[in-house]
Chains A and B, each alone.
Chain A
Amino acid sequence: GESVGLHLPTLSVQEGDNSIINCAYSNSASDYFIWYKQESGKGPQFIIDIRSNMDKRQGQRVTVLLNKTVKHLSLQIAATQPGDSAVYFCAGTPNSGGGADGLTFGKGTHLIIQP
């Protein structure tokens, strides 16, 4: 089955630096991955997604990289700002056959921005 996990529970970076949050997955049939941001006391919010036929996708200040060979993806946040402080989750589809039973979420990485 799908197993999605993050390498580090907490990541501390200086304001203005770039952040890299990593995620590993176990199911090579996974088609689609999403990064969510969860601020304290709120529900997760979509940041960026990537399909398995892509290696890289860029958004505003964020980039997701997918390495299917080692089943790893990462979220890069450029010029980290105080508002980026949150828990970041990667999530993947359980299988490539489709299905409504939602996503499998990783445990989350708490990004802390140091002034």
Chain B
Amino acid sequence: NAGVTQTPKFRVLKTGQSMTLLCAQDMNHEYMYWYRQDPGMGLRLIHYSVGEGTTAKGEVPDGYNVSRLKKQNFLLGLESAAPSQTSVYFCASVKGRDFPSMYGELFFGEGSRLTVL
């Protein structure tokens, strides 16, 4: 079982470039999340999805877009990258039942390190 897989693991962009981070899970989870992690700070929620075809904004959504066209995939897009978006991005998924104890089974990917020059 692969769990949660993020691609790419590393990327360097120039200001203004666009890119997409892909998150794939093979656990048939309903809920998927994108977080960013910055030095000295905890994880902050960017966007999330509670099912195929649905997305919602989290705490820090500006500058990002997401799509959940397939249940197993959750894409995070940066249309015009800015240096402030330099961060480590984590995707997570969970089955989506039995709130809140479901968070005890929140699975994270290994992270995607993005640098914007």
Contacts and interface: CB of A to CB of B under 8 A. Distances in A.
Contacts of A83: none
Place the interface of chain A in its size category. 20 to 34
A107 B37 CA distance: 9
A89 B92 CA distance: 15
Given A32-B103, A45-B108, A100 B90 contact: no
Contacts, number: 69
B100 A32 contact: yes
Nearest to A9: B40
B105 interface: yes
Contacts of B41: 107
B109 A43 contact: yes
B40 A100 contact: no
B111 A41 contact: yes
B106 interface: yes
B84 to A, nearest CB: 18
Contacts of A51: 101
Given A43-B110, A49-B101, A100 B43 contact: no
Contacts of B74: none
A91 interface: yes
B77 interface: no
Given A107-B41, A107-B42, A98 B111 contact: no
B78 interface: no
Interface string A36-58: 00000111111001010000000
B42 A108 contact: yes
Contacts of B4: 43
A101 B99 contact: no
A72 B42 CA distance: 17
Interface of B: 4, 31, 33, 35, 40-45, 48, 50, 56, 58, 90, 92, 96, 99-101, 103-106, 108-111
